[in-house]
Structure formats: C-alpha cells, structure tokens
C-alpha cells in the first residue's frame, strides 16, 4: 500500500509540473507574440494588412491617458480600434474605474499599480482565457468579465477579491461553479453566471448576502443548493432543463422568480414565497394554474406559451391574487382564443394595467 501511495504522489507531482510547464509555455508564447507585434508595429507603421486581433493596440492608442490624476478610463471597441493589451498606464496611480469593452484583450494584467484604488473593472466582451492579474486588485467591488472565453473560475485569482459585491461572468465557457473560488466572496450581492455550460447549482453556500443570482441559459436540471441564500431578492434560472419547482422554501425574501423556457408541468413549491412580486413561467408545459398559492404582493404573472386550454384556469386565480396584480400574460395558450378573452380577464381583475403585452 505504501508503494502504491508513493507512486500516486509521484504521479500527482508530475502532473503538477506538467501543468506548470504548460502555463509557462503559454506565457512565453504570449510574450514572444507581444514582442513580435511591437517590432512589427514600429517597423511597419501601415498595419492595414495585419488582422485586427493581431495588432498591438494599447489604451494610449485610442484614448487620452496623459492626465496623471485621472480616476477613470473607458473605451468601447465598437467605436473604432480594439484594445489588445493593457499597458502603458503605470503613471496613472488614482484609477478607480476602468472599462475596456469589446476588444481583443487576452489577459487582465497591466493594472497592478492600481491595487490601492481600483474599485470597478469591466472587460466585457474581450478574449480573456485567464484572470491572471486581477488578484492584486483587492479593493475591487465590481468585476465584469462577461462574454469572454474563460473555461474555469481560477480560484487563485478570484479568492483575494474579498471586497467584491458584483461579479459578472456571463457568456463564458464555465462547466462548473468553483466553490473554492467563491467561498471568500461573502460580500457578493450580485452574481451573474448566465450563458455558460453549468449543469448543477453548487458552491454558493457562503454567499449569504447575495441579492441577485442569474443562472439563465445553462444546462441545469434541478433547483438546489440555494438554502443559505436568505437575502436573495431576484433569482433567474430561465432557459435551462428544469422540470420541477422545488427547494425554494428557504428563500422567503425572494421578490422576483424567472423560470421561463423549461419543462415544468405543474405549479408547486411556492407556498413560502409571500414577498414574490414577479413570477415568470413562460414557455413551459403547464396545463393548469392549480398549485399557485395566495401571493399577496404579486404584481406580474407570466404564463405565456403554455398549454392552458380552459378559461376556468384563469378564474381559479381570482381568490389568489390581490388588487396589486398589474400584469397577466396568457398569450400563446389555447385559452387565448376564448371569445372576448381580454374583456373577461379585465372583468375578473379590474386592477390590471396590462393583459399580455398590451395595456388595458
């Protein structure tokens, strides 16, 4: 057994060395590429024949960075040249806000000198494959790295950011939620993980101050792992693979719940959500409104594109909804074809301002 253990340890050490060598190789390739681009840039001023993603474009090429007292920098690549490298900003010691959107940035390094001032960093829609560089920005409160190419959360770079309140990692390539990466981020209030490849809700236990959780457009099959999120106000899990409403009973502060575009066939599991103001169950497999409990604060109920055929299912809601109900949506259900549909719905719920997408 000792021999087997020793072999396993040796294998693990070998794997770690190989991984380290691969990372070093990637860094060297990137550095060589950058230096080549610098030489190309200054030896061949005319870059018309160089693909935009291979040009060396730094912030100074697109915006004025001469003000040494500047507290913020902002550039959107859709306005012209796209930044490919964050560099040449070492003289700016007071930066609190940096937003470089829609560029070709591959690595969020180059801002380490702002570690005592930076609070907001937005690198939305770039080409990030790593978060190396952000770990020094320990005062960050908002980090937006949505629409990039991140395959993992990289705990070693995220865990130092204990002051984060808003973290946006939507539309990347994440296959799982890394509990190690999120565990120290106890001040998070907003977390957006929409548009990834997540199959399971996990690793969120320590986020007790979370108010908004966005998980839409993933591959999640079950609502779970949310019991400790007692401050949650907004939960969005639309466009996943959920077939059952469950495990929400602890979320008594919840005000908005979005569960559209799933395979849900029955309304259930909402009895404790008395503060709910918005419920979206659009495009599911509902044939009935049975199971909806009295929700005294509900203002918006979206049940469009289901399989509700009888007007009785709308009448069933009368004792359950209060005068606060403002919007009812049943379009693209068979019941939508009921003669005088809108007139009848309005008669049942006089407080309505909207029936489907149209004002009353």
pLDDT digits (tens, 9 = 90+) for 38-88: 444 444 445 556 677 677 899 999 999 999 999 999 999 998 899 999 999
pLDDT at 4: 60
The pLDDT, as a whole number, for residue 49 is 61
| Per-residue pLDDT at 39 | 45
In DSSP terms, 75 is beta-bridged to 100
273: in domain: yes
Domain span at 294: 243-360
| Number of separate domains in the chain | 2
Q: What is the CATH number of the domain that holds 277?
A: 3.80.10.10
pLDDT at 297: 97
Length of the chain: 360
With beta carbons less than 8 A apart as the criterion, state whether 162 and 185 touch.
Answer: yes
User: What per-residue confidence (pLDDT) applies to 80?
Assistant: 83
Helices (H), the chain: 2-43, 155-158, 179-182, 312-315, 341-348
Has residue 137 been placed in a domain?
A: no
- Map tokens 């077939």 to a residue: 243
pLDDT at 86: 96
Does residue 17 fall inside a structural domain? yes
Instruction: Give the SS3 label for residue 28.
Output: helix
Which pLDDT score, from 0 to 100, does residue 42 have?
44
Dihedral (CA of 18, 175, 123, 140) sign: negative
d(CA 150, CA 282): 30
From CA 263, how far away is CA 291, in angstroms rounded? Answer: 16
**Segments of 178-318 assigned E as strands:** 190-192, 212-214, 234-236, 256-258, 278-280, 300-302
DSSP 10-21: HHHHHHHHHHHH
- Residue 349 is assigned to a structural domain of this protein: yes
Instruction: Identify any residues that bridge with 199 across adjacent strands, giving them in sequence order.
Output: none
- pLDDT (tens digit, 0 to 9) for every residue of the chain, 360 residues total? 666 666 677 777 777 676 666 666 555 555 554 445 444 444 444 555 667 767 789 999 999 999 999 999 999 999 889 999 999 999 999 999 999 999 999 999 999 999 999 999 999 999 999 999 999 999 999 999 999 999 999 999 999 999 999 999 999 999 999 999 999 999 999 999 999 999 999 999 999 999 999 999 999 999 999 999 999 999 999 999 999 999 999 999 999 999 999 999 999 999 999 999 999 999 999 999 999 999 999 999 999 999 999 999 999 999 999 999 999 999 999 999 999 999 999 999 999 999 998 898
Cα–Cα distance for residue pair 293/16, rounded to 1 Å: 54
Q: 53-84 in b/e burial notation, b at 16+ Cβ within 10 A? A: eebbbbbebbeebeeeebeebebbbeeeebbb
Answer for the pair 227, 202: CB distance below 8 angstroms, yes or no. Answer: no
Residue 162 has a pLDDT of: 98
The answer to whether residue 97 sits within a structural domain is no
In a domain, 359, yes or no: yes
Residue 259 lies in a domain: yes
User: Is 121 within the bounds of a domain?
Assistant: no
């Amino acid at each position: 057994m000792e021999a087997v253990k020793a072999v396993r340890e040796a294998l693990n050490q070998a794997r770690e060395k190989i991984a380290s060598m691969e990372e070093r190789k990637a860094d060297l390739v990137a550095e060589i590429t950058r230096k080549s681009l610098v030489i190309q840039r200054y030896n061949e001023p005319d870059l018309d024949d160089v693909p935009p993603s291979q040009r060396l474009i730094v912030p100074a090429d697109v915006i004025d960075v001469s003000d040494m007292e500047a507290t913020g920098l902002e550039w959107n690549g859709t306005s012209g040249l796209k930044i490919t490298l964050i560099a040449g900003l070492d003289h700016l010691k007071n930066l609190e806000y940096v937003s470089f959107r829609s560029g070709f940035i591959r690595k969020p390094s180059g801002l380490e000198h702002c570690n005592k001032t930076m609070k907001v960093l937005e690198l939305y829609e770039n080409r990030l494959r790593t978060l190396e560089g952000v770990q020094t920005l320990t005062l960050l409160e908002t980090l937006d790295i949505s629409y990039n190419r991140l395959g993992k959360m990289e705990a070693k770079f995220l865990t130092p950011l204990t002051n984060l309140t808003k973290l946006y990692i939507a539309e990347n390539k994440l296959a799982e939620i890394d509990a190690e990466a999120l565990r120290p981020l106890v001040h998070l209030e907003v977390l957006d993980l929409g548009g990834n490849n997540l199959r399971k809700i996990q690793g969120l236990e320590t986020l007790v101050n979370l108010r908004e959780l966005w998980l839409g457009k993933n591959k999640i099959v079950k609502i779970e792992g949310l019991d400790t999120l007692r401050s949650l106000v907004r939960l969005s899990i639309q466009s996943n693979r959920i077939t059952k409403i469950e495990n929400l009973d602890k979320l008594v502060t919840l005000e908005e719940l979005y569960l559209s575009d799933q395979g849900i066939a029955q309304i259930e599991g909402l009895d404790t959500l008395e503060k709910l103001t918005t419920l979206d169950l659009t495009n599911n497999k509902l044939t009935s409104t049975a199971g909806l409990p009295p929700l005294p604060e509900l203002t918006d109920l979206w049940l469009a594109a289901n399989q509700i055929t009888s007007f009785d299912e709308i009448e069933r809601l009368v004792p359950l909804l209060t005068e606060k109900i403002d919007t009812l949506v049943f379009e693209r259900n068979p019941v939508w074809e009921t003669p005088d549909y809108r007139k009848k719905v309005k008669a049942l719920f006089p407080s309505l301002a909207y029936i489907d997408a149209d004002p009353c």
